[in-house]
Structure 1
Amino acid sequence: MIEINELHKSYQTGANSLHVLKGINFSVKEGEMVSIMGSSGSGKSTFLNILGMLDEADEGTYFLDGKPIRNLNEKVAAKYRNQFLGFIFQSFNLINYKTALDNVALPLYYQGVKRAERTEKAMHYLEKVGLSQWATHLPNQLSGGQKQRVAIARALASDPKVLLADEPTGALDTKTSYEVMELIQKINDEGKTILLVTHEDDIAHMTKRIVNLKDGLIIDDSIVTQVRADEAQRKAAAHV
């Protein structure tokens, strides 16, 4: 699904060059659920931007679903992003003046899907995340957890090959974080490939594999025993 070899990325800062990624080798099979961890400055944001086709490496190769991701103009990159990737952000990135339903339907609009079909699909995914009764509500009428569920529905609407989740629980309290992770785990159980960036150890252990970045290199890549989010919720509730 994802194959990356000897990936390098540098940025010019005045007269100096900052070498951010220093030869990343990384692969993800279809259906995996992987968390990427690393302290500030480790290169994880740059790495995620390259995976999301928001930035491009200086050296190395990146294949996504067998397609080489290299030297894409913005039109092709946008097409590939819409076709292959769904994004979930810490800050939700919902459009404030559009309803939950319209926010979810937005990727389908860019795919040229007709309005009736867009509405039907968007409602299907709102039902999937348990928010069909909130379809006509605006983002400012929703809680943080509900906003993230709308964002997840939007990410799923175009049926992407891979979900990229950038700190999806970073703006949520523990209880809501575990509820969102329970939903993300269910989506992975259905076969969706998920890459999740987090700085929270408990959230990372709700995935099936943890990759640690430090100073632009992968220093550890381990299969872990997945903690189920619903179990974590029960344990947390028992200690209250």
Structure 2
Amino acid sequence: MIEIKDLHKSYKTGGSSLHVLKGINFSVAEGELVSIMGSSGSGKSTLLNILGMLDEADEGTYTLDGVPIKNLNETVAARYRNKFLGFIFQSFNLISYKSALDNVALPLYYQGVKRKERMESAMNYLEKVGLKDWSSHLPNELSGGQKQRVAIARALASDPKVLLADEPTGALDSKTSYEVMDLIQEINEEGRTILIVTHEHDIAQMTKRIVNLKDGVIIDDTLVDQVKAQQYV
């Protein structure tokens, strides 16, 4: 599903250059649930931005579902993101003046889906994450866990090939974090490919594979015995 080969990325900082990714080789098969770990400055956010087509590597190749991702203008990159990827963020990134239903339906609007169809689909996804009865509520009327469930429903609405989750439990307490991870595990068991960037070891243990980054290189890539979040919910 994802194939990264010899990926390098540097940034200009004043008169010097900061080499952030130093030859990353990394692949993810369809249906995997992978966590990417690393301290601040390890390169994990840069890698996620490249995977999410929000940034582009200086060297190396990135292939997503058989499609080479390179030299994309913003229009094509936006189209590919909408086609291939669903995003889940630590800060939820919900539109404050739109209801939960409208937030979930938004990716379908950009895909040109007719209003009646996208609202029906959005309601189905809200039901999937247990928030059908909260569909008319604004984000400020929802708890942190509910906001993240709306964000997950929105990420799923466009039926993406891959979900990219950037610290999805970072703004949540432990109990709510495990509830969110239980939902993510459930979605993965249905066959969805999911990558999670996290600094929390207990969250990483709830995935099936942990990739550790340090100073722009992968220092460890290990299959793990997955801890089921359900036992803590």
Bin the TM-score by the shorter chain. Answer: over 0.9
Q: What is the one-letter code of the residue matched to 2:139?
A: P
**How far off is 1:231 after superposition?**
1.2
Is 1:41 matched up with 2:41?
A: yes
* 2:11 aligned residue: 11
1:121 pairs with 2:143: no
Q: Quick one: which amino acid aligns to residue 14 of structure 1?
A: G
Which string of whole-angstrom CA distances, capped at 9 and with x for unpartnered residues, describes residues 44-87 of structure 1?
Answer: 00000000000000000000000000000000000000000000
In 1, Cα distance between equivalents of 2:58 and 2:132: 44
CA distance in 1, matches of 2:136, 2:231: 32
Structure 2 counterparts to residues 181-196 of structure 1, below 5 A: 181-196=181-196
Equivalent position of 1:238 in the other structure:
none
SS of residue paired to 1:5: strand
Question: Residue 40 of structure 2: SS of its match in structure 1?
Answer: coil
Letter of the structure 1 residue corresponding to residue 155 of structure 2 = A
Residue 232 of structure 1: how far off its partner (Å): 3.0
Instruction: Give the root-mean-square deviation of aligned CA atoms.
Output: 0.4
Unaligned runs of 5+ in 2: none
- Cα displacement string for residues 144-193 of structure 1 (whole angstroms, at most 9, x for unaligned residues): 00000000000000000000000000000000000000000000000000
CA contact (8 A) 2:175 2:232 kept: no
Tell me the equivalent position of 2:135: 135
Rounded Cα–Cα distance in structure 2 between residues aligned with 1:111 and 1:156: 13
Match of 1:174 in 2: 174
Match of 2:211 in 1: 211
Question: In structure 2, the residue corresponding to 1:39 is in which secondary structure?
Answer: coil
Q: Segments of 4+ in structure 1 off by > 4 A?
A: none
Gaps of 5+ in 1: 234-240
Structure 1 residues 79-126: Cα deviation after superposition (integer angstroms, max 9, x where no partner)? 000000000000000000000000000000000000000100000000
Q: Distance in 1 between matches of 2:58 and 2:232?
A: 41
Q: Give distance in 2, aligned partners of 1:25 and 1:200.
A: 23
With normalisation by structure 1, the TM-score equals 0.97
Which amino acid in the other structure matches residue 114 of structure 2?
K
The AA in structure 2 aligned to 1:16 is S
Distance in 2 (alpha carbons) for counterparts of 1:232 and 1:92: 23
Q: How many residue pairs align between the two structures?
A: 233
Q: Letter of the 2:40 partner, please give it.
A: S
Aligned position for 2:201: 201
Deviations 1:22-59 (A, max 9, x none): 00000000000000000000000000000000000000
Identity of aligned residues (%): 82
Aligned 1:1-240 pairs, distance under 5 A = 1-233=1-233
Provide the rounded CA distance (Å) in 1 between the counterparts of 2:129 and 2:80.
25
Cα distance in 2 for residues equivalent to 1:41 and 1:54: 18
Partners in 2 of 1:114 and 1:232 — Cα distance?
40
